[in-house]
Amino acid sequence: MSKKIITPVKEFEEFLTPEYKELIANGPYNRDKPTTVDDLGTFYEMTGPHPHCAGCGVSLAIRLGLASLPAPEDTIVIGTPGCSYFALTQSTLNYSCTAFGNQNSVASGLKRMLKVRHPDKQKDVLVMVGDGGVADIGLDNTLHSWFRGENIATVMLDNEVYGNTGGQESGMTTEGTVLNMAPTGKKFPKIPMFELAKTSGCVYAAKVTVASPKKVGETIRKAILVAREIGPTYVQVYGPCPTNLKFPPSKTIEAAKDGEKSYYKYEEYMTDGAKEYLNRSKA
Amino acid sequence: MVQETYRVLPGPEAYLAPAAAMMGVMPPDSGSAIVEGSVVSEDEAIAVIARKLADAKNPAVCPGPLLIWQWDDGVSAKAAAVRELAEACGAKILPMIDYSARRIRTDMEISPNHPNVTILQNDIDVCLFAGVHSHYANYALRLIRARTDCYTIVLGDYSASEDAMASLRDINVDKINAITEKIKSLKRG
């Protein structure tokens, strides 16, 4: 069924919008080989026009992530309110926005249901939410989904701030950062989500920034593949926010590169089981 | 508060019309249909639907995802029947391609998130939904009822939509063809 859900019946094909016709003919669906970040610019992407601010690191991370899905027609993305919602809801992907912080619980239930409904088919459930959704409001749901060993991939789009509500500090804001709604600076360091992931049951975890687009694509793809059979996975992507961190929109990549010199130095962790599974998948 | 006399009629009714179910309108059981909030026989509903479509000045048929995409083997036959129905009453086809909140082309498509904009922009007086999941159909129908005077019809794959002014459930090719034939005979006079 999966490829058929993006194949129109001939009776109504002519009534589809030009964008949908282009998506069907030249999009990431209906391909023998899944697209990668290297293919960007050569195919019609799932991310459409969206209302993110100029230079938004989160929207770039989403674009890179959606270009790297191993099976877009069999993928459901679960989100939560916040900046990430804007690009994801404008995409042509199966996307569901949950109540704030509930994303990993909803994803757990959905994945279990899909296993029952489609026992002979891999259905990928990908959680793609901001730092507030993972590390603050949804921290308990996120950690418990990892403790339970759910077969879901969690991607944190870390812009280090609650961006679309005026600039409140999140648990992932770096210590000392002054924001519109944190005028005296944040008083404690970033929550160690990457370390928590490793100790809470994630079999694969990675820390990347949008300044390394290929790595963003590769780690998200690996996280989705490993989550299919081995266990929960986690990717933390840094996509800095020019609007609230007060730098020019043209400097997003520079800001992300600066991040790579300190907290966001590239790190990848995987268990032996995950490594073996990835090697098998490659073969 | 449940009002037993609530009728599902063309609007504009309110900023957001209440869900008909909340006002005491129940969807029909198998073998029945619903017209303006009252349970009727399928034949009666077919007659009403055909009359409304035949008399419409600018009708629109809105096929939903269940009718646009080849997710099931029976889709093509239903799609062909709905296309014939649209041609019989001279309806414009405005597909509901998906349910996402993306920016849509209101001159070419309809969405459950702001269907009233498409209805108003295209000056549609009667619209028919087919192949739209009930929960999205009902929401779209409430918005249309709230902000336009369009008459709404739903052909439901499984259940009828109580938020439509006329709706059939368990729709199949025979039922669609029955409406088409009725429209043709009404057009012939």
Is B63 close to A16, i.e. CB distance below 8 A? no
d(CA B174, CA B168): 12
| Residue B134 lies inside a defined structural domain of this protein | yes
pLDDT of amino acid B101: 82
Strands of the sheet containing B32-35, edge to edge, are: B38-41, B32-35, B166-168, B151-155, B126-130, B59-63, B92-93
d(CA B119, CA B106): 8
The DSSP-derived string for A207-265 is: EEETTSHHHHHHHHHHHHHHHHHT--EEEEEE---HHHHT--GGGHHHHHHHHHTTTT-
CA-based nearest residue in chain A for residue B67: A9
pLDDT of amino acid A3: 80
pLDDT at B56 > cutoff 90: yes
Taking residues B158-174, what's their average pLDDT?
Answer: 97
User: Tokens standing for B164?
Assistant: 């439509």
Amino acid at B23: M
What is the CATH number for B152? Answer: 3.40.50.1220
Percent of chain B surpassing pLDDT 70: 98
CA torsion, points B174, B75, B61, B89, in degrees to nearest 10? -40
| Beta-carbon pairs below 8 A across chains A and B | 64
Is A8 close to B69, i.e. CB distance below 8 A? yes
d(CA A247, CA B47): 65
d(CA B86, CA B37): 25
**Helices (H) then strands (E): counts for chain B:** 6, 7
**Architecture of A36-282 per CATH?**
3-Layer(aba) Sandwich (3.40)
Q: State ipTM.
A: 0.93
Percent of chain A surpassing pLDDT 70: 99
pLDDT at B89 > cutoff 70: yes
pLDDT at B1 > cutoff 70: no
Q: Name the H helices within B56-150.
A: 65-68, 75-89, 115-121, 134-147
For B4-42, write each residue's pLDDT tens digit: 689 999 999 988 899 999 999 999 999 999 999 999 999
Q: What are B's interface residues with A at a Cβ cutoff of 8 A? A: 63, 67-72, 75-76, 79-80, 82-83, 93-95, 97-98, 100-105, 108-109
Enumerate residues 6+ apart whose C-beta is below 8 A from B185. none
Nearest to B151 by CA among B7, B11, B6, B14: B11
pLDDT-derived band of residue A111, with 50, 70 and 90 as boundaries?
A: very high
Distances (CA, A) of A265 to A198, A237, A258, A260, A268: 16, 11, 9, 4, 10
pLDDT of amino acid A163: 95
For A252-280, write each residue's pLDDT tens digit: 999 999 999 999 999 999 999 999 999 99
| Residue B18 lies inside a defined structural domain of this protein | no
User: Tokens standing for A240?
Assistant: 């800095």
Q: Is A209:A267 a contact under the CB 8 Å cutoff?
A: no
Enumerate residues 6+ apart whose C-beta is below 8 A from A177. A160, A161, A169, A185, A186, A245
Q: Are strands B38-41 and B59-63 parallel, antiparallel or unpaired?
A: unpaired
pLDDT at A97 > cutoff 70: yes
Q: Is B167:B154 a contact under the CB 8 Å cutoff?
A: yes
Biggest CA pair distance of chain B? 46
For A1-56, write each residue's pLDDT tens digit: 578 888 999 999 999 999 999 999 999 987 889 999 999 999 999 987 889 999 99
pLDDT of amino acid B100: 85
Is it true that the peptide bond before B12 is cis, omega within 30 degrees of 0?
yes
> Which residues of chain A make contact with B130, given a CB cutoff of 8 A?
none
Q: Is B82:B177 a contact under the CB 8 Å cutoff?
A: no
pLDDT of amino acid A282: 80
pLDDT of amino acid A92: 86
Is B93 close to A89, i.e. CB distance below 8 A? no
Residue in B76, B97, B101 nearest the CB of A11: B76
**Domain boundaries, given as residue ranges, for chain A:** 36-282
Counted domains in chain B:
1
The domain in which residue B48 lies consists of: 34-188
pLDDT of amino acid B4: 61
| Residue B132 lies inside a defined structural domain of this protein | yes
Higher pLDDT, B1 or A19: A19
The residue written with tokens 């239930």 in the block is A109
| Residue B3 lies inside a defined structural domain of this protein | no
d(CA B175, CA B50): 11
Nearest to A53 by CA among A29, A102, A14, A86: A86
Averaged confidence pLDDT in chain A: 95
